[in-house]
Amino acid sequence: MSGRLTTHVLDTMHGRPASGLSIDLFSVHGDHGHRVKSAVTNADGRCDAPLLEGAEFQPGFYEILFDVGAYFSKFGVESNPSFLGVVPVRFGVDDPDKHYHVPLLVSPYGYSTYRGS
């Protein structure tokens, strides 16, 4: 079995998947991060392919940056500055043979995440 990293973004303000939300994935080593991949969520609030899988999915720390400020500005939810701009979610992977799913439930004023399945 090959492990993989996936995400899913749900827009709790509108009660639907967050389509068109930009995501950047970083591999983190100490205080430094290296961008591994960029993606945009599809109509289901998911990426079309896993963010990482197989041999490229290694143990260590990762961070996903969700650009929720730009996403919500498309709906006229704006303030200067926006309450939430980029939401960072940093997490560790100890067994890259497993499926790591990092969902984000988000509104313009709050968010929640967890390790999904």
Domain count, the chain: 1
Domain range for residue 79?
A: 4-113
Calpha distance 97→105 (Å, rounded): 26
Beta carbons of 82 and 67 less than 8 angstroms apart: no
Q: Is the pLDDT of residue 77 over 70?
A: yes
Q: Residue 21's pLDDT is what?
A: 98
CATH number at residue 32: 2.60.40.180
Beta carbons of 20 and 4 less than 8 angstroms apart: no
Strands 99-107 and 4-11, sheet pairing:
parallel
**Mean pLDDT of the region 7-23:** 97
Q: Is the pLDDT of residue 8 over 70?
A: yes
Confirm whether pTM is higher than 0.85. Answer: yes
Q: Is the pLDDT of residue 1 over 60?
A: no
Calpha distance 82→69 (Å, rounded): 6
Calpha distance 19→4 (Å, rounded): 21
pLDDT digits (tens, 9 = 90+) for 88-102: 999 999 999 999 999
* Residue position matching structure tokens 């197989």: 54
